[in-house]
Copies of this chain bind each other. A is one copy, B any other.
Amino acid sequence: MDIYTIPVRYQDSFSNLDEFKLISKIIDQLGSSAAKDIIVPPGDDAAVWMNSKNSLTVATVDTLTEGTHWRADTMSFYDVGWRAITASVSDLAAMGATPNYLLIAITLDTSTTEQNINMLTEGIAKSSTVHKVKIAGGDITRAHTNIISVTAIGQITQNNPQSNYYPIMRRNTAEVGEFVAVSGYPGTSGAGLNILEANIQGTLDAELITLHRQPIARIELGVSAAKAGIKCAIDLSDGLVQDLEHIAKASNIGIKIDTRKIPLHSTAYNLLGEQKTLDLALGQGGEDFELILTGSEQHLRSLHTIELPVTIIGKTTLKHPGQVKVYKGTDEEYDPPQRGWNHLRND
């Protein structure tokens, strides 16, 4: 007999539900995404797993809050659970790490329905499966809002067990004279949200809306890039300009990009026009979870595939350290209407 097998009488809202029964129910619902084969699986004071040899542990935490990171009218609880996992594992992808385990802290408004908690859990489970991570533990509390905070713990393995070199990508390792590339189609998530807000209905937009609601982190690209010798990366979560600025400031180099080289999603381009899609990519959108990488042209081009294009959009420079300049073509400087998203600002 285990405390996690007590039958639960479901309520419409969770406020009268026992904390431990709710945790049990959620562990059950997680199915194969709960880490059951570790030394101490979910349900005890803490999760325990064996360290792999010849590897670094890499860990991050990322929080999504209702009203700031998602709106109930454009994201279901399934989507929120999905994206919370993506956002955390994307941070590991940006280091070249493979995520292994998650700890999930959920804070629920007491009026949140049973159905929504189920959907949240399903989204968590599905995104965890897609990203090949296991949930090793968590915590559930209540407050006057819905919040999900995901800790992702993963590893970076040596290229060669005999060497002491670990292929880590960081944001402070860009060098002057490198090329700057981005994976996929920046602005896609923002385009999906715009289409939702404008209530543009159609078969074409379904893909964009899915990419907004259920984004995928670029874990394999991150690992490949680090192993290929790329030293500097960041994930695209706040918009191209702002995320590039993080690299420019941390590395003390300048970055210039050419708007005409930024790959735009063809459906977004067709529905919203070039200018709007571009502005979404530069900073009006966010949470694309693509990777920005700097390195040699050869290294960057070796990462390009038809399934996930890696496109060179600019260069690092000695000039204007800490700053990002956007050009239309090579000469006309462009000042985008929004350079990125800051979750702490009032909008």
Contacts and interface: CB of A to CB of B under 8 A. Distances in A.
Contacts of A107: 63, 65, 107, 147, 149
Interface string A130-153: 000000111111111101010111
Contacts of A69: 141
A39 B134 CA distance: 25
Contacts of A1: 249, 252, 321-322
A149 B16 contact: no
A152 B151 CA distance: 10
A300 interface: no
B143 A65 contact: yes
Number of copies: 2
Contacts of A44: 95, 170-172, 250
B103 A342 contact: no
A86 B131 CA distance: 32
A46 B92 contact: yes
A3 B249 contact: yes
Nearest to A106: B63
A59 B101 contact: yes
A151 B68 contact: no
The listed residue with most B CB atoms (<10 A of its CB), out of A46, A104, A234, is A46
A325 interface: no
A48 B176 CA distance: 25
B137 A95 contact: no
The listed residue with most B CB atoms (<10 A of its CB), out of A66, A138, A141, is A141
A48 B48 CA distance: 18
A75 to B, nearest CB: 15
B51 A56 contact: yes
Contact of A91 (B46, B168, B344): B46
Contact of A142 (B55, B140, B343): B343
A235 interface: yes
Given A44-B172, A95-B40, A15 B49 contact: no
B344 A61 contact: no
A59 B137 contact: yes
Contact of A103 (B2, B47, B151, B345): B151
Interface string A32-68: 0000000110011111111111011111111111111
A52 B101 CA distance: 18
Interface stretch (A17-25, A207-215, A312-320): A17-25
A35 to B, nearest CB: 11
Nearest to A64: B141
A282 interface: no
A22 B252 CA distance: 20
Nearest to A144: B145
A15 B344 CA distance: 6
Contacts of A155: 51
A149 B144 contact: no
Contacts of A140: 344
A56 B56 CA distance: 13
6 contacts: A3-B246, A45-B94, A46-B92, A47-B60, A61-B104, A67-B143
Interface of A: 1-3, 14-20, 22, 39-40, 43-53, 55-69, 91-92, 94-95, 97, 101, 103-105, 107, 110, 136-145, 147, 149, 151-153, 155-156, 166, 168, 170-172, 234-235, 246, 249-250, 252, 321-322, 342-346
